Structures are given as structure tokens and as C-alpha cells.
Amino acid sequence: MRKVKKVGLVANLTKEKALSCTSDLASWLESRGIEVLWEKTLAKKEKKDGLELSKLSSSVDLLIVLGGDGTILRTACFAARSQTPIVGINLGDFGYLTEVNLGEVYSALEIILAGGGKQSKRMMLEALVNTDEGIRGGFTALNDVVLNRADSQKMIELETYIDDHYLITYRADGLIISTPTGSTAYSLSAGGPIVFPNQDVIIINPICPHTLTNRPIIVPPTVTVKVILRSPKQGAILSLDGQAVLTLREGNILTVKRAETATILISSPHRDYMEILRSKLGWGSLKMNQCKRKD
């Protein structure tokens, strides 16, 4: 990681401790000779000058994001364009993306600012849609691209291709196209596999499919996934990282491929990914040698 001279602060202002923690953190950074820049909405609360997230991301050496995983997702698309690393600080428990706890903020940052933070380059997805009005594009996602049925109790039909080779026409409530980072998000709740985030693959996972043998599929990162909506009377909502962006109609084509940009996250120096999985999924942490029977 390049030497940190400027840090950008981003926070989820709906969190109770967001303002006080951000203010304390800014003072701590400035006492170490680091210039602090503020995201615009946060700066307004602090009565300071601020920058739009797009401008902030390209103006600093490091982004510190206080909130939850959703705040990271909101920041990721901007940070990826300038390849600015992100440190996530969770204002609750640590998350899959916001790994640093409040109680360890300063000890973790001491290590990270000294160059001891491990960078994790996370694959992203790019989506574009062919509609009756033309091509809509420029959509990127760190977690997932999702098609969900719109305003109907009926399943939708999704004709799906991989590199222009026909795969299947899903009859389902929807379809999740996920990165490894997103494998522990919506895809996991729909029965998808957990994939280590440093892998580069694409997960295709139907939501409540009509045919129970329609299982999640993992494909290489080099493929292009094409989905054609084949439901005459129903639309489908396209969402990226949980944010709805537009409605597809019959015959509209969604194309998803690996994005040219990636999100750079700095891992907590105090834990590894296995600990995060154990904590978030409620797995037991006893080691096997502690569970052996004594005969």
C-alpha cells in the first residue's frame, strides 16, 4: 500500500455512534500528520467542507468507512475506479466486509498505516441491459447482480446463456449472479455456496426454482452470462448490491461479466476469514483435538 498522507472518511449517519467515532478518529489521524477529507453528507453534520464520494475517492490514499457492509457496498464502486483501498470499521459487530471492530480501531490502524495491512483485491461484476429504448450500462457490483419478479406472485422465466451457449430457462422467483464476495450475502440465503473472496469465479444461483434440480453453478470469471426475460405479462426488477436500478420487460436482455475494475479492501490485522465465518454463521469454534473422547 502506498504511503498514506490523505485519508477520506465515510460514515453511515443512521448509526448511533457514527458522528462521535468519526470525529475522534479524525483527531487521531490529524495528530499523526495525516490530512483528513470528509464525504459531503458527513462533513455537513460536522460543519466542515466535504466532497462528493466520487471526488473523495480519487483524492485520498485510503478510505475509512464506518458503518456496516452496506456502507462499504455504497462506497466500493467509486473507490474501485481510482483503486483507492478501503478499511471497513463496523459500528456493530464486525461484518464480512467491515472487519474492524470499534474496540480495536486504533490498534488496527496503527498496523495498517505502518504498511502492515493485507490488501484483498475483490472481483466485481459489470452489467448492461438491452431494452426497447436502447442499451443501459455502466452498472457495477461488488456483491451481486439480481433479477427478481416484479409486482406478481407468479414465477418469471429467464432464458440463460453462458458465452452464447444455451444453459437453461429458469422458472423461478429470480436469479442471483454473484461474486465470491457476494457468496455470503443474498446468494447464501438462497442456498448458494460459500466461496473464499480471493477466488475469481461467478456464481449463478436461481431463487426458489420450480425445478428442484436447478442448483447453483460456479463458472469461470472469463465468461459472459446473458439472461433474456421470457415472461410476457411480468417484469423483473434489476438490483445491484441490493439497490434497484431498473425494470426489465419481456425480451429485455441482461448481460453480466467480470468488471475491469476491482475493489481493494484492507483486512483486519486481528483476524482471518475463517474467524469471520465462524462468528457470522454461528459455527462452533472448538478445535477437533479439544473434542476427542477420553476412553
* Dihedral sign for Cα atoms in the order 180, 181, 183, 184: positive
Give the DSSP letter of residue 97.
S
Q: Work out the mean pLDDT of the chain and round it to a whole number.
A: 92
**Beta bridge partner(s), residue 158:** 170, 229
Q: Is the pLDDT of residue 286 over 60?
A: no
Tens-place pLDDT, residues 37-95: 999 999 999 999 999 999 999 999 999 999 999 999 999 999 999 999 999 999 987 78
Secondary structure (DSSP) of 224-289: -EEEEE--TT-EEEEEETTEEEEEE-TT-EEEEEEEEEEEEEEPPTT--HHHHHHHHHT-----GG
Q: Which of 24, 69, 132, 272 is catalytic?
A: 69
Q: Is residue 133 packed enough to be buried (19+ CB in 10 Å), middle (13-18) or exposed (0-12)? A: exposed
Contact 103, 82 (CB under 8 A): no
Give the CATH superfamily of 124-260: Probable inorganic polyphosphate/atp-NAD kinase; domain 2 (2.60.200.30)
Tens-place pLDDT, residues 246-273: 999 999 999 999 999 999 999 999 888 9
Percentage of the chain beyond pLDDT 70 is 96
Q: Active site includes 61?
A: no
Q: Which cell goes with 80?
A: 474501485
Q: Is residue 139 packed enough to be buried (19+ CB in 10 Å), middle (13-18) or exposed (0-12)? A: buried
Give the CATH superfamily of 6-118+267-285: Probable inorganic polyphosphate/atp-NAD kinase; domain 1 (3.40.50.10330)
Residues carrying CATH 3.40.50.10330, the chain: 6-118+267-285
Task: Provide the pLDDT for residue 288.
Answer: 47
Confidence of residue 183 (pLDDT cuts 50, 70, 90): very high
Contact 173, 147 (CB under 8 A): no
Confidence of residue 295 (pLDDT cuts 50, 70, 90): very low
Percentage of the chain beyond pLDDT 90 is 80
Confidence of residue 289 (pLDDT cuts 50, 70, 90): very low
Tens-place pLDDT, residues 3-31: 899 999 999 999 988 999 999 999 999 99
Q: Is the pLDDT of residue 214 over 90?
A: yes
Residues carrying CATH 2.60.200.30, the chain: 124-260
